[in-house]
Amino acid sequence: MERWTRAMIRYRWAVVAVWAVVFVMSSAAASGLSGLLTNRFTLPGTDTQRAEKILEDRFGQRTTGSFMLVVRTAPGSASQLVPAVDQAAHRAAGVLPSGVVASVQPLSDSVVSARIVSNLEPADAKGYTGTMRAAAGTVPGAQLYVTGQAAIEHDLDPVFKRDLQIGELYIAIPIALVILAFVFGTLAFLLPLIFAAAAIPATLAIIWIFAHYMELSTYLQNLVTLIGLGIAVDYSLLIIYRYREELRRGRERPDAIVATMRTAGRAVVFSGTAVAIGLALMLAMPVPFMRGFGLGGLFIPVVSVICALTLLPVLLYFLAAKLDRVRLLPHSITERREAEENFWARFARAIMRHPVAIAAGTTALLGTLALPVTALELGPGSNKGIPRNLESVQGLDILSGAVGGGALAPTAVVIDTHQPGGADDPQLRAALSRFQDGLHADPEVAAVVFDPSAASSGGQSGGQFVDPSRRYLQLQVIGKSEYGVPASLDFADRLRHDIVTAAGFPTGVSVYAGGGPPSGVDFLDLTYSAFPWLVLGVLLLTYFLLLRAFRSIVLPLKAIILNLLSITAAYGLLVVFFKWGAGSALGLISFDQIEGWIPVFIFAMVFGLSMDYEVFLVSRMREEWDAGHDNETAVVLGLARTGRIVTAAGLVMFAAFMGFVAGSIVGLQQFGFGLAAAIILDVTIIRALLVPSAMKLFGRWNWWLPRNVARVFRVRNSPLAPRARPAADPGGLHG
């Protein structure tokens, strides 16, 4: 590390030039990234995907690429409006590529609906929403709404964008700037922003390359920006504070930078690797849209580490002294805060005077917060937790009132007879009749859309329900409840395991259920069949990485257990504040279910960022132990010299995540609240209370690394030997 850092200083102008070129090229590439991103959502290897494939190939439609025209008039007038609604539907279908009017029918005495199908992905179909509304025009004497999943996505996009902008521009960034200005006390608080301005566009440029070959989510840019800002703050704080410390020891500027990178720089490398392991978990998830976030989660810490090892030493050389001359706080306050005899030293000594009580109390508190996780109810998402003033949502509400909550996202049942003309088989027709009877008998089914004449050769509606080869048939099942709620998910299970079986389809016939509720079931099954194994893999990799970083077999295990405690507590708080409604007073939207992607994202992001803080804190304690201090002194010095850094970094991320909570969409609120809760628990209860008390209890066992284990990991061993407290207390930290 020393030779590397001296080389960066020696060739500092070349380093600046390279990063300037990277910035210009990356910014140009990143500006074209949004056009390559999408909200496509696929579930490979599931019945949902099989049903969608047949619908697209044989019927020219997708369950998620369809639209509904909903027309409401005065009671008793619905049937008279059918011709006018049919005309409006054909006008709208005419501007939608591959659009076909599938049905026009009165749903009640005051509501008429028209269903327009297409073979477009929802990410593509939603772009035609405005054009279809203009083409549909009006129906005299009635209100017309264009709705459907694609239309809802279209209407939600500006809401998402506005909520994210409010969270980032009006909450996260201003609070982050205030915290950084207070922590640094000088214009040096600009260095993390320069760091972020280099690392974030470079990461987005790498993603731009992959976006040509992978389906990546529209919101990946927001995730990279959020994590990139947090990591930039973390690494800048750690390195700049250590640089100031080395200067106070009387080192010259180049030597101070070298000493900083040899210690804090090494911690950054291990920290970045730990963050990458946690976030890259999602790369191995079987759901493609999660893999995209894993890609961003892998590259942002990698690029940030490269930036910290190359650009940051040069920025320290060129700018640190100049920026530190411009003070934002009185000189005496800044110096007093940076003195080793500070609040954190006194705080650490107070904790270690009562380690058993504090360790037991904080563990009990976290356990209590985690208890509600037993009531955690996962769902695939729902249209209930979105603003109700959007046109598409108003149309959905009218549709739900007339037919049932499942009208917008019905279950699509596709029957493959595996032979041309199979739809005409008498046994198949008999099974189909029994199947429809079973559906009508289910308490969750509001309606079954299927023309019996389609099963007979030459039926006039065959194109809608039977493909031209008469090998495939399809039915639409409208549920009474919305697609993501437990009643609908239970119906999907009954459909697949009970109703289909009871129908007695002939041998060789395959029945696939896709669309609304079945796709939700498949999403949850696909995600959580892989998630536990991937978590186990991340825990093992992180243990081995921290074993090498801390040269201890105890500290990595402690770090993992404490991280799991804080994440589980955050899951429990999600239940309390959303399912049990405790967050209503804070403006949070009460909702029974936690969206299924949220626990996965919270685990990946919090586990990575928490390890960031753990590496900063314990690496410094390890350094003090290796310098010859006893266990208690090493812990006090480590907490005194990194406590403010970890707390400030955590508060910046807390502010960033709370920006999501200001939004009006329940999924974003749950996501932001879960992350913010986990981070604030981590930097307060875990790092400030539980870590020092636990390390006091473990004593010299903290630092034990047997010789045979050290040989395997190619690091120096750390024998289990007693160590007396030094006669002279360095820095006066024991008073």
Question: Using one digit for the tens of pLDDT, what is the confidence trace for 176-204?
Answer: 888 888 888 888 888 988 999 999 999 99
In the sheet with 445-449, reading across from the earlier edge strand, the strands are 445-449, 472-479, 411-416, 510-515
Cβ-based neighbour number of residue 689 at 10 Å: 18
pLDDT attached to residue 605: 87
Which residues, at least 6 apart from 346, have a Cβ–Cβ distance to it below 8 Å? 735
Instruction: Please report where in the chains the tokens 């973390």 appear, as a residue.
Output: 234
Q: How does 171-194 read in b/e, with b if 16+ C-beta sit within 10 Å?
A: bbbebbbebbbbbbbbbbbbbbbb
State the DSSP code for 217: B
Which residues partner with 476 through β-bridges? 412, 449
Q: How does 101-126 read in b/e, with b if 16+ C-beta sit within 10 Å?
A: bbbbebbeebbbbbbbbbbbbbbbbb
- C-alpha distances in Å from residue 579, one per residue of 487, 588, 668, 731: 17, 11, 15, 50
Spatial distance between the Cα atoms of 344 and 196, rounded to a whole number of angstroms: 28
Instruction: Please report where in the chains the tokens 């619905």 appear, as a residue.
Output: 78
SS3 content of the chain, % helix, strand, coil (to 5): 70, 10, 25
Cβ-based neighbour number of residue 387 at 10 Å: 12
Which residues partner with 161 through β-bridges? none
Instruction: Yes or no: say if 642 and 620 are a contact pair by the CB < 8 Å rule.
Output: yes
Amino acid letter, 475: L
Spatial distance between the Cα atoms of 225 and 173, rounded to a whole number of angstroms: 11
Spatial distance between the Cα atoms of 553 and 331, rounded to a whole number of angstroms: 43
Phi, psi of 166 (to 5 degrees): -60, -45
Within 13 Å, how many C-alpha atoms sit on residue 720's CB side? Answer: 10
Instruction: Yes or no: say if 530 and 696 are a contact pair by the CB < 8 Å rule.
Output: no
pLDDT attached to residue 734: 43
- Three-class secondary structure assignment of 623-638: HHHHCCCCHHHHHHHH
Query: 343-353 and 631-661 helices cross at what angle (nearest 10)?
Result: 110
Spatial distance between the Cα atoms of 657 and 675, rounded to a whole number of angstroms: 6
State the DSSP code for 496: I
Nearest to 240 by CA among 267, 264, 262, 273: 264
Which residues partner with 413 through β-bridges? 475, 513
Q: Residue 403: helix, strand or coil by DSSP? A: coil
| Positions of the chain with pLDDT under 70 | 38-40, 330-341, 452-463, 721-735
Instruction: Yes or no: say if 636 and 349 are a contact pair by the CB < 8 Å rule.
Output: yes
Q: Residue 335: helix, strand or coil by DSSP? A: helix
Which residues partner with 145 through β-bridges? 70
What tokens appear for 673 in the block? 């609240």
DSSP string, 166-189: IIIIIIIHHHHHHHHHHHH-BGGG
pLDDT attached to residue 461: 45
Instruction: Yes or no: say if 478 and 449 are a contact pair by the CB < 8 Å rule.
Output: yes
Helices (H) and strands (E) in the chain, counts: 29, 10
